[in-house]
Structure 1
C-alpha cells in the first residue's frame, strides 16, 4: 500500500503472519523517517488538568505524532492483525500487542522445530520403501523445518539421504561420495540417480525370478514310463 508524505512515497510492507521479523525492520525504518519512532517506542504522558500551555502544546504535538504512527501501522497490517490491535488506543500499545503475540508464536515455533529436528535425525529409509517415497518424506519434513526458521541447503539434505538409504544402495553411495561432488549435487539429481539404480535392480530381480521359474519348470519331476505287467 502506498504511503505518501511530501515528496516521499513508499509501498508499506503488510504484516501477514509469515513476515514478522522482516516487517519489524522495515517499519522501524519508516517510523524513523516519519519522525514517530520515539512515540511508538516510549509513548507519551497523559495530559494533566493543571497542565501549562507549553505542556498542552507538547501533548498536542505528541498526540499528532501518535495518530500518524497509528495510521501507518493500520495500513501496514492485514485484516486478521487489524482485529488484534483494533482495541489499542496508542501506537505504543499496538506495537507491544504485536510483539507479545509474536514472542509467543516464536516460542511455539522454537519448540516445534526442536521436535522436528529429533524426528529428522531418526528418519531412515524403510526396506519396503521406494526411493520416490523416501525422498517425498524427507523433502516434506525439511520444508516444514525451513518454515520454522531452520536453514538447510541441498548438501545437508543429500548427506542425510546418503546416510540413511537402505544397504542395497551402498555401492551407489560409495561411488557418489568417492567422486568428491557431494556438495555440488542437487537433490533432484541424486533422486534421479538412485531411482535409475532402483529400476535396474527391480528389472534384474524380475528377470532372475522368471529364469528360476523357467528352470524349475524344465527340471520338474521326471515322469517314468508305466510298466507293462506280464502274466
Structure 2
C-alpha cells in the first residue's frame, strides 16, 4: 500500500545569492535524504582515479574499480542536486565543477565571504542581540518572532 508521500517529488531549495544560510541548511538535509553517501562526497570530495603509468590524467572509466565507480555515482548525485538548486547566476559560478565539494565550496566562498567578512557578520549579529529589546507596542508573540528570526540568522550564518 502506498503512503501519501510515495510518489511526491520534492523540489530542492533554490539559491539566488541572497538566501545562502537557509539554503545551506536545507540542502544538507535534501542531499542526505537522497543518499547520505552523496552528502559524504560534498565533505570528502571526489576525483577520478589517476593513471598508474607515466601518462598524466585520469584512468579510462573501463579501468575503474567498482568502488571508484560507486564514489563517482555518489558525487554525480550530489553535484546534480547542487546544479539544479541554484539560479542562473549562481550556476555560472559552478558550471565547470566536476566535484560536488568544489561546487559547494565555491558557493560558500561567494556567498559567505572571507574569514574577515564572517567575523564582521558575527559581530553585527552579536550587536543586534545585545540591542534587542521588546517594544512597548509589541506583543510577546511578536517579540518572540523577532528573537527567533535573529537566532535563526545566527545559526545559519558561517
Class of the TM-score when normalised by the shorter of the 2 chains: 0.5 to 0.7
CA shift for structure 1 position 49: 3.4
Which of 185, 195, 202 is the aligned partner of 2:137?
185
Take 1:112 and 1:42, find their aligned partners in 2: how far apart are those partners? 27
CA shift for structure 1 position 43: 1.6
Take 1:69 and 1:46, find their aligned partners in 2: how far apart are those partners? 15
Evaluate the alpha carbon distance shift between residue 14 and residue 107 of structure 1 in structure 2; reply closer, same or farther with a 3 A threshold: farther
Which of 89, 93, 101 is the aligned partner of 1:92?
101
CA shift for structure 1 position 13: 0.6
TM-score w.r.t. the length of structure 2 is 0.61
CA shift for structure 1 position 28: 0.6
Correspondence for 1:202: none
Count residues in correspondence: 121
Q: Is the 8 A contact 2:13 2:27 kept in 1?
A: yes
Correspondence for 1:27: 27
List, as ranges, runs of 4+ consecutive aligned residues in structure 1 with deviation greater than 6 Å.
Answer: none
Task: Compare the two structures and name the one with the higher helix fraction.
Answer: 1
Question: What are the superposed Cα offsets for residues 28-66 of structure 1, whole Å, 9 maximum, x if unpaired?
Answer: 111211221111110235314358x99611111111111
Asked which structure has the greater CA Rg, the reply is: 1
Question: Gaps spanning 5+ residues in structure 2: where?
Answer: 1-5, 53-58, 139-158
CA shift for structure 1 position 9: 2.5
Q: Is the 8 A contact 1:40 1:95 kept in 2?
A: yes
Q: How does 1:105-144 map to 2 (within 5 A)?
A: 107-108=116-117, 111=120
Structure 1 counterpart SS, 2:9 = strand
CA shift for structure 1 position 103: 3.2
Higher relative contact order (CA 8 A, sep 6+): 2
Q: Determine whether 1:40 maps to 2:42.
A: yes
Question: Gaps spanning 5+ residues in structure 1: where?
Answer: 1-5, 118-145, 156-182, 187-231
- RMSD (Å), alpha carbons: 3.2
